[in-house]
Every structure is written in C-alpha cells, then in structure tokens.
Structure 1
Amino acid sequence: MPVSATKSLRVAVLADSDTRWKWGALTAQRVTPTGDGLRLDGYLLRGRATPTARQLTEVGVQPDSLREVTGAEFLRVMAEESYDVLVLALVGGGVQAMLHGLRNAWGGSGRRPVVVTGYVGVVYEKLADGLLLRHGADLVLANSRADAERFRAVYEGVGADATAVTEVALPFLGGQPYTGEHDPYTVVFAAQPSVPDSRKDRTYLLDRLIQHARRHPEREVLLKLRSRPGEHTTHIEELPYQKLVQGKDLPANLRLVYGHMGEVLDRTDLLVTVSSTAALEALHRRIPTVVLTDLGVREVLGNHHFTGSGCLASWDQLDAGHRPAPDATWVARQGVAPGGEGSYATAFDAARERIARLLDRPGGLPPLNPYYTPETAPGYLPGILARHHLGPDGAPLPGAPAADKQPGPVRQIVRRAARGAYRHGVQRVAPVIRRMGEL
C-alpha cells in the first residue's frame, strides 16, 4: 500500500539541545508524508546541553513520548523498535557516530527507517566538515536554494553521492506578517550564546543597546536571551548577558526577556542581531531587520552570510533612525517567503515526496553508506566514534554508558551536580584562565 494511503507513521527524533529538538521535531512534522498525523517519539541525547523542562516547554512541541538516552541505549532502541522516519538533530560528529552505529545495529536489514538530518539554522562555518559528517543519511536537508547548491558542490567535489541533498526551508518560520508600528515602538536585540565570544565585544554590544534605549526613551528595548542562568543551548555560553548586565544602570525602557522567539516577534518593530537565525524569522514576517557591522563583517561572527541582504548596518545608523530594506532576490534564495505563505507551504513538498518514495521502495532500503569510513578517514573517524563510545565498526564499546532504567534519586542528584559543575567551569573558570593566559 502506498505510504500516502497510510493513516499514521512512526517518527523518532534524536536531539542533543533545545534548539536542535525544536528543529528536529518541527522538521519531522513538516516532512512526514501522512495526512492524518503521526506518532512522534522524542529522544534527548544525554550530554552537557540536554534541555531542561523549561526549555522543552518553550519549544512548544508535544511529542507522544519523550525520554533521555545515552547513545548506546538509543542504538539498542533503534534495533528493537520499528520506525518509518528517523530525524537526527545533532551536531555533525553526533550525526556521523549515529550513522555508523545505526548501520551496525540494523545489520544490513532493509527494514529500517528513512534517516533525515540537516542544520538548525544559518550555515556560516565548517561547511565541508559539517556536511561530510552528515553524509550517509537518506536526506540531508538544506534550508534554502543557496544552501542546496553549496551542499551539492561540496559532496560532488569530494566524489560523494549528492542525491541526498534536499531543499526545504527552516521549519519554524511563520507567524503574522508585520503590518505597522506598535505602541510603544519595540526594538529587540536577539542575543547569541557564542557570537561574539569575547567579553570586550559582548560588553560593547550591551553598552550600545543601553545607549540606544537612553537615546530613544519613547521606545521599548528588549534584550532577548536564549537561556536562563544554568541552562545550556546548542552553543556554549561562557559570558551570558545576564552576568554582564550586573551592576549596570539600565534605563527604565530596557528589559531582559526570555520565551518563544515567535511571541517576541509578535510585538517587534525592529530586530537587531549579529547573525542569529532570528533574522530570517523576522524577514519572513517582513519585520525590519538589522545585522550589525559594528564588530566587522567577518566569518567568525557569521554576519558575512548576510552580505547582499540589505540588512547590514551599525548601531550609529540605527541611533540616527536608519530603516533597513531587504533585498528581495537575496531573501528568496535564503528560503524566506516574506508576506507570502504559499511558497513556504510548498517548501517541504520535495522532502515529503522523496521520503514517500523511499518508504515505498520494494525490498526496503540499502544499508547506510557514509562518506567517512575507516578506509577514507582512518585518522579522523575512529576518534569521532570513540567520543560516542563506539568502535570502528560502529558497535558500542565495552563499558559504554547505558540507561536501561530510570536513574535513582542519588544518581539524578549526582548528574545534576556534575552538569552544574561543568556549566560553572564554562561560564566562570574558563574565562578566568583565558584572561590569565593573555597576560
């Protein structure tokens, strides 16, 4: 029976952070070719960025089941359970490790799910590295036409199969188009955990935001933060703005806010960022958007991705009343459909059709075939697999951490303490050591 006639499909999502869970869960809902719904099972890979309950609630996706797993446990579940689609929403090394682990776990059986992976947002660094670590999935999703072209060029350039590259769009775009100024006029600075990464640069941006609020007391100025103290997102945040703002005299019209980005954008008149994916969310809704040039236009910042967008500007220009005008051609190539949901609604058709064909393939699917193997990358791949407690053949190493049972209260306390110690080291100890090294 063709998949289009099925009532429901079983879909699993493995994610390693709050943002990747958001991308993976929403992607699963958009690309699954079923009319009457799906069963969505979520798996959170245990690690330094495992989402908290608050972060999961903020994402707003309600799976049918959700559990925290180790890599070894997830592979065992995949060997025992029957799924139609599996979305790997992980960092590149995690995707590569799971591809080899799944290949071993499934043992060449054609009765396996369609494996999907991709990127959470703007791809502005480690293009070749990240892509080749994702090679081997049945679908490698590109969030725009521009990304699809770049992805295929990388795969073809190393002699790897590029047919898995499938053009889609970011799955979390949406919301009502911007229709005009709010009262009060609201400026939102979308902070990023790791861009920029120095205390000097982050303090500069914070000071300019405070200065803008003072220059425009009639405006509401919001500092949109990704996570609360003690939480981690996809990227490590060594110098959270909550810490940098301590001791500063904030004007009454400047506030720190958390919550769902879409809800914040509902009241935004000007979105300002260095290179956050929030810029694409705002552009999709026709909200005036500025990508800052104050710290230069540099690859390390990611704002080079926005060259040609018409959105590049400085705080000086914003203070003087500058209103950006996005370039329509650039926006279209980035998978954004400002003011028109029709083209966005069809952005996932190709992925749905490809998955449907793979699910209906006679005899099932061939074994996963990543570009990296012990033969093609003998000095690189074993280390990636070992970090996830897998051997060169993808099999779990002896002593690999497992989670057959829910940990007892003592283990849970110890685990929380260990995570807290790690985060303290990242946010407090590491910056001190770095400054000492610069003396």
Structure 2
Amino acid sequence: MSRQVSLIFDSDSQYFACRNLVAHFLAAGWSIQFVILGEFELPPPGNLPPMPVVRVETLAEIWKIPAVVGSTAIGAYLPGSKLREIWLGAEDHFSRNGTRPILFTGYNGVVLQRFEDGMGWRVGYDLIALNSPEDREKAMAFSSHSTLQRATLMPIIGINRTDKPSTFAVERSASWGKTRTVVFAEQVLFPRGPKEKYSLYSHMIRIALENPDWKVVVKPRTPPDGFTFHRQSDHISRFIERNFILPSNMSICYEPLDELLKKTTALLSISSTAFFDAVGTGVPSFTLSDFGISSTYGTHFFHGSGCTICLASLGKLSHGLFESRPTQEWLELKGFSPKFSPANIIAALEELKGAGANDAPLIPFESEQRLLAFPADLPAGNVAARTFWVRLTSSPNAGTVQHPPANLRKTLARIRRRIVGMAGGDAGQAGSNGKS
C-alpha cells in the first residue's frame, strides 16, 4: 500500500531537518511533498531529487488541500506555537472527517536550551523524534507523570547526516595533515553583543597575522541576504567590513560546509552543530572556551568532549594543537552514532499505522497538559516548566483553534515576566525552545 508524507517547514534550519529525512523515506518507498509556510525559498536539492512543493500563507490553508489531509503522515518542523496550531487544526478538521494522518515532529538539530519547553509544545503528537539518548532521558523525565510515555513514540534519530559516520575514535580524514586551514563556523545568535564579536574577530585577525602560512576562514551561517530560524539584524560580513581590514590569509567564505571541510585542518565554533559535521568527515573540531561553560552560549552541551580551545590563548599554529578527539561514548550520548538514524522515524510510523493510529483520535493535548504538571518535589530548575503549564492551561481561550499563536505568545510573555520577578536565575529555562 502506498505511503505519503507531507513535511511542513518555514525556514532553512527546519528545511534541513526535513531534508535529512528525505532519502530514508524514499528508500522505504514513501512519496514525499514539501509544504512551505510563507516565502522561504528552497536551496538547490543537491543529490536528492526535487520534491513536489505546496505553498501556503497560513497553516489554516493546509486542511483545505486534499494532498495534505490525505497523507499517511504529516511531519511538522516549525516554531513551538505553530506546532500547536497544527495539532489544533488537525483535531478540529479530523474530528469531523474520520481517518487522519499520523502527526509527528522532531527538533531542528541540537537542542541547546529549553528542551522541556520544546517538549511542551509537542505534547499531543503521535511521534516525537529525539536526537540522542541524553534527550531521551530528559523527555522521559518530563513525561514521567503523564500518559505521554504510553501514548507517544519517541524514536532516537541521531544528529549525524549519514547512517555510517566516521568518528575520531576510529578514523580521520585522509587529507588531514596536508592542509593549513582553520575554519570558524559562525552562528547567528553567538556572540550576542558587538563587544564580544569585536573581541572574537580581533583574535582571529591576530592569529592570521601571526601565522601567514595558514588560512583563517570565517564561514557565515547564511549569506548576507539569507535568513534562518533566528532573526539576524546585522550580518557578520557587514560587521567585519565596518570594523576590520582582513589580512590576505583571512577570508569570509560562503562555500557549502561539506565542500569546505574537505580542505580544512580544524573547525572551530562556539557551539555550532557544524562540530558534528566535521566529526563526520574526520576533521578535528573544537568549541571555544573563551565564553565559558554556559547555557547562554550553548557551550555546556559540548562539556566533556575534551575538544575545547581558547582562542585568546592561541599563538603559533601547528597540527599538534588539533590532536584531541571526543570519545565514542561521548559522541553516542549526544546522538552521533550509526545506531541512530532517521529510518527509525519510518519504523515508528509503520508501527503506529499498524496499530490503527490513522483511525484513532489524536492524543488529547489539553488533558495531557494537566497530567504533565510537575510535582513539587522536582528540582528548582523545573519551576519555569511547571509555571508554563499552569498559566498555559488556565489562560482564557488558550485552546481556541482561531488564535492559538497570539494567545500563546501573550501567555509566554506573562510567564516570562512573572518568572523573572520570582525565580531569578531560573528564568532562562522558560519560553519556547529556540531550535524548536
């Protein structure tokens, strides 16, 4: 019997999360269509065949498109409030129209902050794909007082782009040792302020000047006219142009990362998932310790890797500086292992279909919220998540199909203000997950 999946997204990071699923769905005999919300322009498909595309201006439109509502499954990769809007729209539509698609979602890359809030937005989906055993532990703890564990499948799909990634514990690039190029993978959010940016790129220029036989390359997250899930008011190329004159051996490069890594000696970042892209190609990868171990910058995620470098302390470069490798155990904990694959989503979808999920009501979102209230004896770090549920479920009209995003944003804003006033340092745990 034919299977079709509709993958919904509205930005580049979400597109790449969906793109990572395409080859696996095709290999399993599924047909695929992309549903793009808004004006996001698809990048070139690369080595994948082009997919049929449906464009919508609002999520309400998708329930009027037969090719979408008739899908075997709908995969939603969107910001938190839009994930809930999908669920509410599906409940409203299919409560009157019988057989429904299986709803699933996941995360766009590594989750650096507010994992529990991200889970909160996903409550009610039939399947929530997780990145790693570490995330699975968090998800199980989050849902331990609800029926979510029994009703929702949570397969681990990993964060590697291939089914058989190389690892530093086993091998490294054959070209490593023949190149003298350090690449810095820029992130839209980090560093946050102009002073920190100025300090960061000043050190890069100093390193380039002190090592004229090496190349220092800045790889921006997007081109100047591009956009990502996160807002970007000042592209890094413009910041550098305003503040610096680059030495001849330092440049800004927009070449695809996969191609750039083929001629890279070491990749540096603050907390970019490019770390794992480099790992997968056998290129040494390091996060910068200049910003400390901080959830604000996502550097806490890489703590324990053994692969950190202080940019301010770097002087004369040599290949010996880049010998450190993360252990296989650490990589597996973070989801980088051939054990994990997006194919696990497809196996879980087949399991759900075989169990009759297409003919069953959706997992009740509102009742799950109340069941997910955190008990008082949980650690203080969960105060924000507990407050999130209390205010969300008690907010007037919080569950209406007509205006869920606006109501939820207002509710979250009130929660954030209240937590800032009452919980101090715990406030950083509240709000929708930035990676979604």
Give the TM-score category using the shorter length: 0.7 to 0.9
What are the Cα deviations for residues 87-122 of structure 1, in whole angstroms up to 9, with x where unaligned? 111112211221111111212655222222111111
Question: How high is the TM-score relative to the length of structure 1?
Answer: 0.76
1:307 to 296, 303, 308: 303
Go from structure 1 to structure 2 and tell me whether the alpha carbon gap of 1:19 and 1:250 turns closer, same or farther (over 3 Å shift). Answer: same
Alignment counterpart, residue 173 of structure 2, candidates 148, 172, 178: 178
Relative distance call for 1:40 and 1:301 in structure 2 (3 A) is same
Q: In the aligned structure 1, how far is the partner of 2:329 from the partner of 2:358?
A: 41
Q: Structure 1 residue 229 and structure 2 residue 216: aligned? A: no
1:25 and 1:372 map into 2 onto residues whose CA distance is 31
1:369 aligns with 2:363: yes
TM-score, length-normalised on structure 2? Answer: 0.77
Shift, 1:294, TM fit: 0.6
Q: 1:220 aligns with which of 215, 220, 225?
A: 215
Q: What are the residue-to-residue correspondences of 1:18-33 with 2, within 5 Å? A: 18-30=12-24, 32=25
Distance verdict in 2 for CA 1:184–1:283, change over 3 Å: closer
- Report Cα offsets for 1:344-403 as digits up to 9, x if no partner: 5x63454322211222234734222254469845743698x99xxxx8342579xxxxxx
Equivalent residue for 1:209? 204
Q: Does 1:197 align with 2:209?
A: no
In structure 2, give the amino acid aligned to 1:328.
Answer: Q
Matched, 1:127 2:120: no
Contact kept in structure 2, 1:108 and 1:367, CA below 8 Å: no
Deviation at 1:157, TM superposition (A): 4.7
Q: 2:131·2:159 contact (CA, 8 Å) conserved in 1?
A: yes
Query: What secondary structure sits across from 1:280 in the alignment?
Result: helix
Structure 2 counterpart of 1:299, which letter? Answer: S
CA-to-partner distance for each residue in 1:196-252, whole Å, 9 max, x for gaps? 211111222222222222222212221111222232101112332111111411011
| Residue identity in the other structure for 1:27 | L
Tell me the secondary structure at the aligned position of residue 358 of structure 2: coil
Aligned length: 373
Answer yes or no: is 1:151 the counterpart of 2:139: yes
The aligned counterpart of 2:377 is: none
Q: Does structure 1 conserve the Cα–Cα contact (< 8 Å) formed by 2:20 and 2:342? A: no
Partner Cα distance (1:215, 1:173) in 2: 37
Cα 1:241/1:382, change in 2 over 3 Å? farther
Unaligned runs of 5+ in 2: 167-171, 371-388, 405-436
Structure 1 partner of 2:251: 255
Q: Which residue of 2 aligns with 1:380?
A: 392
Partners of 1:225 and 1:258 within 8 A in 2 = yes
SS in 1 for 2:283: coil
| 1:380 partner letter | L
Q: 1:202 to 1:332 in 2, by over 3 A?
A: same
Q: Given the alignment, which residue of 158, 179, 182 partners 1:187? A: 182
Within a 5 Å distance, the mapping from 1:330-341 to structure 2 comes to 330-337=330-337
Question: Does 2:285 match 1:289?
Answer: yes
Cα shift readout 1:261-296 (whole Å, capped 9, x = no counterpart): 222222222010000111121123331111111122
Match of 1:118 among 93, 101, 106: 106
Alpha-carbon shift at residue 316 of structure 1 (Å): 3.8
State which of 368, 383, 399 in structure 2 corresponds to 1:392: 399
| % identity of equivalent residues | 23
Q: Displacement of 1:35 after TM fit?
A: 4.5
Of 59-68 and 289-298, the range deviating more from structure 2: 59-68
Q: Which residue of 2 aligns with 1:434?
A: none
User: For residues 79 and 392 of structure 1, what CA distance do their matches in structure 2 show?
Assistant: 27
Match in the other structure for 2:157: 168
Within 2, Cα distance between the matches of 1:94 and 1:190?
29
Counterpart contact for 1:59–1:260, Cα < 8 Å: no
Q: The residue matched to 1:161 in structure 2 has which SS?
A: helix
Query: What is the identity, as a one-letter code, of the residue corresponding to 1:76?
Result: K
Matched with 1:87 is: 75
Deviations 1:100-155 (A, max 9, x none): 11111212655222222111111121111111101211111111111111112112
Tell me how far apart the structure 1 counterparts of residues 352 and 106 of structure 2 sit (CA, whole Å): 18
- The answer to whether residue 327 in structure 2 is matched with residue 327 in structure 1 is yes
Instruction: Kindly state the Cα deviation for residue 78 of structure 1 after the two structures are TM-superposed.
Output: 6.2
SS of the equivalent of 1:276 reads coil
Match of 2:130 in 1: 142
Root mean square deviation, CA, Å: 3.0
Distance 1:60 1:243 in 2: 32
Change (3 A) 1:18 1:245: same
Distance 1:267 1:216, change over 3 A: same
Match of 2:234, as an amino acid? L
